[in-house]
């Protein structure tokens, strides 16, 4: 059982890190990318038995690469931008006088890079790059971890536990979401608590498109896998006779209605998240959580409300209003 749970822990922590990096990148915050470079340096060393070092620790923004393993002549670019153009630009920047004969690898730490492996790439003479083998991403790494021997899996588990979290991620996430929901419900002056919401059926993709949220569609999709955690928290409160779901969704809807006159699209979603964070920050009950974690949990609650159509406009309703 421990063998299985260690894999589950590693998988979830890597995917949570991926979501965090992507979320913060949308706010033009790159600090977590630097942490990721060092984390994946240690992680890949454990996984493959390499001895990578971070070039950026001695030379800020080394052209085209972040990590190097001189003995095996391996160069790695760690990036939250995963495009054919990004890969080719990175390869072209490599200093050939220093790294002639090296193999270049590209690690996407946010996007699934499966499609990128199908392209043909231009690489200068002296640099080896095979897209099929040399483009790495979180899903491919997780696939390799699945087949590790137990002792090696345990080494990686200990590294991930030390570097990314000491608590089981599911328990931590649900505990934080529960606290946030309780605080949101208690903060709301409910007023017209019997208000009914629009329950017209709709397609998520259509709602994203009609509300001009295309730039964060992947974020909504990624965080959507966690809305079951929100439902679990609502169910636990409701079983105890405290209807937190109604109160929280009413609160979020009120905030949305107040902000939508001044903001649209991703900016509106960001302002909703900031509004919630500002109302909760500094509270003693949340002192054990990092800011980026709290913002991630708030985003999960907002995506849940989006799917329930308590924030942003129902595309069916929008269509009816224009006909």
pLDDT at residue 199, as a whole number: 52
Lowest mean pLDDT among 46-50, 275-279, 312-316: 312-316
Q: Taking residues 13-22, report their average pLDDT.
A: 86
**Residues 6+ positions from 189 with CB-CB distance below 8 Å:** none
How many Å apart are CA 187 and CA 185, to the nearest integer?
6
pLDDT at residue 318, as a whole number: 55
Q: What are phi and psi of 203, to 5 degrees?
A: -95, 135
Residue 77 in this model has a pLDDT that exceeds 90:
yes
Which percentage of the chain shows pLDDT scores above 70?
85
pLDDT at residue 222, as a whole number: 80
pLDDT at residue 27, as a whole number: 59
Residue 16 in this model has a pLDDT that exceeds 80:
yes
The Cα-based distances of 298 to 21, 58, 180, 219, 265 in angstroms read 15, 37, 8, 13, 17
Which percentage of the chain shows pLDDT scores above 90?
47
pLDDT class of 76 with cuts at 50, 70, 90: very high
Q: Taking residues 315-321, report their average pLDDT.
A: 62
pLDDT at residue 194, as a whole number: 46
Angle formed by the axes of helices 291-307 and 265-280, nearest 10°: 120
Residue 267 in this model has a pLDDT that exceeds 90:
yes
- List every span in the chain annotated with CATH 3.40.1350: 2-164
Residue 277 in this model has a pLDDT that exceeds 50:
yes
Q: Taking residues 260-283, report their average pLDDT.
A: 91
Mean pLDDT comparison of 132-136, 222-226, 313-317, highest-scoring range:
132-136
Report the chain's mean pLDDT, rounded to a whole number. Answer: 84
Angle formed by the axes of helices 227-239 and 291-307, nearest 10°: 80
How many Å apart are CA 187 and CA 154, to the nearest integer?
43
The Cα-based distances of 4 to 137, 138, 152, 171 in angstroms read 22, 18, 13, 17
Residue 197 in this model has a pLDDT that exceeds 80:
no
pLDDT at residue 132, as a whole number: 96
pLDDT at residue 51, as a whole number: 95
**Residues 6+ positions from 39 with CB-CB distance below 8 Å:** 17, 163, 164
The Cα-based distances of 115 to 73, 89, 270 in angstroms read 26, 18, 30
Q: What is the dihedral of CA 184, 223, 304, 203, to 10 degrees?
A: 160
Q: Taking residues 215-229, report their average pLDDT.
A: 87
Q: Taking residues 43-71, report their average pLDDT.
A: 84
Q: Is 65 in contact with 104 (CB distance < 8 Å)?
A: yes
- The hierarchical CATH code for the domain 2-164 is 3.40.1350
Q: Is 157 in contact with 6 (CB distance < 8 Å)?
A: yes
CA 62 to chain CA centroid, nearest Å? 26
- Name which of 225, 243, 226 is nearest 234 in CA terms: 243
pLDDT class of 59 with cuts at 50, 70, 90: very low
Residue 11 in this model has a pLDDT that exceeds 50:
yes
Q: Taking residues 107-134, report their average pLDDT.
A: 93
pLDDT class of 19 with cuts at 50, 70, 90: confident
Residue 212 in this model has a pLDDT that exceeds 50:
yes
pLDDT at residue 272, as a whole number: 95
Residue 138 β-bridge partners: none
- List the structure tokens of 306: 């989006």
Q: Taking residues 241-253, report their average pLDDT.
A: 84
Q: Taking residues 197-220, report their average pLDDT.
A: 82
| pTM for the full predicted model | 0.54
**Residues 6+ positions from 8 with CB-CB distance below 8 Å:** none
């Amino acid at each position: 059982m421990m063998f299985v749970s260690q894999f589950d822990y590693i998988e979830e922590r890597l995917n949570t890190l991926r979501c965090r990096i992507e979320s913060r990148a949308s706010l033009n915050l790159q600090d977590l990318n630097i942490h990721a470079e060092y984390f994946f340096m240690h992680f890949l060393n454990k996984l493959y038995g390499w001895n990578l070092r971070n070039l950026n620790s001695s030379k800020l923004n080394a052209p085209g690469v972040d990590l190097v393993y001189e003995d095996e002549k391996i160069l790695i670019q760690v990036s939250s931008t995963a495009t054919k153009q990004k890969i080719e630009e990175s390869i072209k920047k490599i200093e050939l006088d220093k790294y002639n004969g090296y193999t270049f690898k590209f690690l996407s730490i946010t996007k699934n890079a499966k499609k990128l492996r199908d392209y043909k790439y231009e690489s200068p003479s002296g640099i080896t790059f095979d897209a099929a083998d040399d483009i790495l991403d979180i899903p491919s790494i997780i696939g390799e971890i699945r087949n590790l021997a137990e002792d090696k899996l345990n080494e990686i588990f200990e590294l991930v536990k030390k570097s990314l979290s000491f608590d089981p991620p599911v328990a931590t996430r649900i505990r934080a979401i529960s606290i946030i929901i309780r605080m949101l419900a208690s903060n709301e002056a409910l007023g017209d608590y019997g208000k009914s919401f629009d329950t017209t059926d709709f397609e998520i993709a259509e709602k994203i498109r009609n509300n001009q949220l295309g730039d964060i569609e992947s974020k909504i999709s990624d965080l959507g896998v966690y809305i079951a955690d929100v439902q679990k928290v609502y169910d636990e409160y409701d079983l105890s006779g405290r209807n937190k779901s109604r109160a929280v969704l009413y609160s979020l809807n009120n905030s949305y209605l107040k902000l939508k006159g001044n903001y649209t699209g991703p900016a509106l979603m960001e302002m909703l998240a900031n509004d919630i964070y500002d109302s909760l920050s500094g509270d003693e009950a949340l002192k054990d959580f990092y800011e980026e974690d709290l913002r991630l949990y708030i985003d999960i609650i907002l995506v849940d409300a989006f799917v329930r159509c308590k924030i942003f406009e129902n595309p069916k309703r929008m269509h009816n209003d224009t006909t």
